[in-house]
Homo-oligomer: A and B are copies of this chain.
Amino acid sequence: MSPREISYTDAAREALAAAMERDPTIFILGEGIGERGGNFNTTVGLYERFGPMRLRDTPICERGFTGICTGAAMTGTRPVIDFMIVDFILDGVGELVNQMARIQYLTQGRLKMPVLIRGCFGIGSGYAAHHSGNYYSLFVNIPGFHVVLPTTPYDAKGLMATALRSDNPVIYLENKSLLNCRGPVPEEDYTIPFGEAVIRRLGSGLTVVAVGAMVPLTLSVCDDLASEGIEVELIDPRTLAPLDLSTILESLAKTGRLLVVDESFGPCGIGAEISARVMELAFNDLDAPVRRLNGEHTPTPYSPTLEAAVIPSAARIADAIRNLAAD
């Protein structure tokens, strides 16, 4: 029997529903996450199962409900904040950084901060300047957060399950372009540990670490490149904080070359961190400098011709790989 295939969104929701069944202290706040089931179907069917106290529609007050979830997590419940589009998180950054991320530390661990923060991100489909944000590097920079970017339905479920057992605030980010992708997902509950990368493709020519939607996009060019004689080893870190450097370093020890592909901004981005860490830890393994391929350092334009110009495309990824192979 071939395994069941479901969508990314359904997989994440399955883990959420199972956790809510098990843990009555979980509740969800967000705009349209109640009866409506979420703008991106993140909570479809849950209102009917768990009722209005556990799926609570909010007015448009992102700072407010971020602060509220902080206080709730300090007093015995496990809040889920569904930001819908992750750009809206920016109005809550004060509550996230000054409060949520610091209270475990300030109480020496006497209080826990089990909050799941989720939102859809990424450039594409003309979402334009205010709905295309990628803010994971910011949350990697700040101590106290886990940052999770599932790229398959299987991972969406398993990482969600882990997030909903963590003591820590978890930023769980769903790339808009992946929401409808389908893949095999076991029916039973399972967890995927944070900080364990997965190798999406084995290869000995060079190593690519791709982030979010760049994982399947990079994968899509690997066969062509193989026919040119370039064997890519593709690593999906799955969580950026914690970051599984060992898997990257092991691959690099084999290939000697590393490219980081990330649609987000380059400066002080996750690619910079990976690059710097790899140099610090494995300078002698490097046959060429670590390279980064990022989106352009601009706000996201609307027009399809402009939008396409600011993100890594399959062609640009392939070129970057070719250049590194030849470096």
Contacts and interface: CB of A to CB of B under 8 A. Distances in A.
Interface string A94-115: 1001100110011000000000
A279 B290 contact: yes
B138 A138 contact: yes
Determine the interface band of chain A, counting residues with CB < 8 A from chain B: 35 or more
A118 to B, nearest CB: 18
A31 to B, nearest CB: 15
A208 to B, nearest CB: 16
Interface in A69-124: 87-88, 90-91, 93-94, 97-98, 101-102, 105-106
A315 interface: no
A4 to B, nearest CB: 38
A228 interface: no
Interface string A135-150: 0011011111000000
Contacts of A97: 90
Nearest to A134: B141
A297 B140 CA distance: 10
Q: How many copies make up the complex? A: 2
A88 to B, nearest CB: 8
A98 B87 contact: yes
A277 B87 CA distance: 28
A97 B87 CA distance: 10
A227 to B, nearest CB: 28
Contacts of A98: 87, 90, 129-130
Given A63-B63, A102-B129, A269 B87 contact: no
Contact of A289 (B91, B129, B138, B279): B279
Given A90-B98, A275-B275, A142 B265 contact: yes
Given A141-B267, A275-B280, A280-B289, 10 more contacts: A63-B91, A90-B97, A91-B93, A102-B129, A106-B129, A143-B265, A144-B299, A268-B269, A268-B272, A276-B292
Of all A-B residue pairs in the complex, the 10 with the closest CB atoms, nearest first, are A275-B276, A90-B94, A91-B94, A283-B289, A93-B93, A272-B272, A272-B276, A102-B299, A141-B268, A279-B289
